[in-house]
Amino acid sequence: MVPFLELKTQYLGIKDEIADAIQRVLDSTQYALGAEVEAFEEEFAAFSGSTYGVGMNSGTSALHLALLAAGAGPGDEVITVPHTFVATVAAVLYAGATPVFVDIDPASYTMDPDLLEAAITKRTKVVMPVHLYGQAADMDPILDVARRHRLTVIEDAAQAHGAEYKERKCGSMGDMACFSFYPGKNLGAYGEAGMVLTDREDYKTTLRMLRDWGQKTKYAHVLKGFNARMDGIQGAVLRVKLRHLEAWTESRRERARQYGELLAGCEPIGLPVEYSDRRHAYHLYVVRVADREGFMGFLGDRDVGAGIHYPTPVHLLEGYADLGYKEGEFPEAERAAAEVVSLPMYPELTSDHVVTVAGAIEEWAAR
Ligand SMILES: *Cc1c(COP(=O)(O)O)cnc(C)c1O
């Protein structure tokens, strides 16, 4: 049996470090923000090649408040992709702005830079590429178009801790970058957490106020803010886990290499494309299969876990019907949504697990 995701083994390996970290917070009584959160903000910003970190209570809050800091609001358009987790688009709507979609490049599953310019209007304020599955979007052409049109770039890096693009870390390329530390992410809290990274002091100052009721100093609410503060315990846990992140990412990459070797000749399976100028962090190992239902049923019968990320592109989700999009408008996103399957992928996945999964896939392909 190979589960799709399993968090317990990792926890057991760092149990004592985690217990000490949590105890420190309990003793300090700094349960919301505080010294551990501040230290984690500095450490994660440094790790990601950025200057400032602003800890939040989720990746969704990070996206929402980054959009507000960029000045996006009613009447403004934010360009992003429909093939993403729904939070990317929900955050645009929270800010009161209008999401505008461009299709993905089917090989990378990220924003097709060639389609970006045509989507820009007088109302466009922000471009928000998503580094989906742990691989960077093609940032140079995106940044180039955005600069020419004076648009703010916000990276949705919720799946891309430690990923790189041309030697630059995801999180260091846009004007702001948003991370999630949801438990299943590559760097996962033991609860909910998120962060915005930026090199700009003005954004950092605004974001720190927005997450804490718009306060400049206590009870001086100079902005209409939110309660989006990071917990002290999550900051302490994430500091411990950050020290292991590089080893965990390397482990994911090794398992991905192994999947790639074992499945190379397996014709009905489309393997993920890893670009030579990017370091894929393999948040998810996503293959493409035309007969997805049959494939997943077969894996299920053999006790191999698998997932779909994501079965419906955001422009076709029932809850977002009022955006007014129709089927056929973003064909690559729609085709990806119909064909993608995520295989088991986590740092503690063993080499034997990968052999088992690949064996089941070979069996399915040969039947
Ligand atoms: C997880 C995720 C988010 C939201 O993060 P939360 O911490 O769950 O709020 C946003 N965008 C993408 C691409 C994600 O994967």
Q: Tens digits of per-residue pLDDT, 124-143? A: 999 999 999 999 999 999 99
Measured in Å, residue 273 CA sits from the centre of ligand 1 at 22
Q: Tens digits of per-residue pLDDT, 249-264? A: 999 999 999 999 999 9
| Cα 43 from Cα 52, distance rounded (Å) | 10
pLDDT at 95: 98
DSSP 56-123: ES-HHHHHHHHHHHTT--TT-EEEE-SSS-THHHHHHHHTT-EEEE-PEETTTTEE-GGGHHHH--TT
pLDDT at 225: 98
Looking at residue 340, its amino acid is V
pLDDT at 87: 98
Residue of 67, 109, 182, 211 with the most ligand 1 atoms within 8 Å of its CB, for mutation: 182
Using CB distances shorter than 6 Å, the residues near ligand 1 are 58-60, 84-85, 87-88, 130, 156, 158-159, 180, 182, 194
| Cα 128 from Cα 154, distance rounded (Å) | 5
pLDDT at 128: 98
**Residue 274 neighbours by CB distance under 10 Å:** 16
pLDDT at 178: 99
Measured in Å, residue 59 CA sits from the centre of ligand 1 at 5
What residues of the chain score a pLDDT lower than 70? Answer: none
Measured in Å, residue 268 CA sits from the centre of ligand 1 at 30
Size of the chain, expressed as the number of residues it contains: 367
SS3 177: strand
pLDDT at 48: 98
